[in-house]
Amino acid sequence: MEILDDDYTRNELTEEGGNLPYELFHNWILTGKWTVFLAILGFIFTGLFALVGSLAGTMVTLFAQLETAGNPVYSMISRFFQYGMLGVLIVVGILAFYYYFLYQFGSNLQNAVRYKNQSQFEQAWANYRNYVRMSAILIGIGMLLYIVAMVLFAAHPYSTPIPIAE
């Protein structure tokens, strides 16, 4: 199947801009600025997530250590948060790569359009492709975890309805 705007997609970014209209260049610059802005916001929220997750895990672990009565609930919560910290680190690492691809797309797209650099333009779209692939993988993992949680919830012995005596 042929792309309808094949003349525009195969065109080199030349000094004259080739056949590409000015509005397209302007929209690409705006797209680059917004994606860089959103990626920076994503980096900030990822850092806040890491900070809050590590502080919460540390506080619960310290709280469980201060409990001297030997309550099994506190020790269970402490172990859960210790393993949860590993999960937080994994999620932070994944999100950092996720927003890195978005940032690289925006900055490469801006530079490619400003300096009319075809290779940087192709690199920008390769980063966007990686961003979309990672989005699809994360959505798939989220759906899989949701299905597993629903199956485990349905299989729980207390999830059956309680008969009402009449």
> What are the pLDDT digits (tens) for 46-104?
999 999 988 887 777 776 666 655 666 666 776 777 777 788 889 999 999 999 999 99
| Domain containing residue 64 | 19-155
Q: Tens digit of pLDDT for each residue in 108-166?
A: 999 999 998 999 999 999 999 999 999 999 999 999 999 998 888 887 766 556 666 66
**Does residue 28 have a pLDDT over 90?**
yes
13: in domain: no
The domain total for the chain is: 1
pLDDT given for residue 2 in this prediction: 46
pLDDT at 29: 93
Distance CA 110, CA 107 (A): 5
The two three-digit tokens of residue 73, written as one number: 């609930």
What whole-number distance in Å separates Cα of residue 124 and Cα of residue 127?
A: 5
- Please indicate, yes or no, if residue 134 is contained in any of the structural domains: yes
Residues 37 and 30: their CA atoms lie apart, in Å, by 11
Does residue 28 sit within a domain? Answer: yes
Whether residue 91 lies inside any domain: the answer is yes
163 lies in some domain? no
Q: What is d(CA 102, CA 116) in angstroms, rounded to the nearest whole number?
A: 20
**3 is a domain residue:** no
The model's pTM is: 0.73
Per-residue pLDDT at 107 exceeds 90 = yes
Inside any domain, residue 71: yes
Contact 99, 44 (CB under 8 A): no
Is 72 domain-assigned? yes
pLDDT value for 154:
80
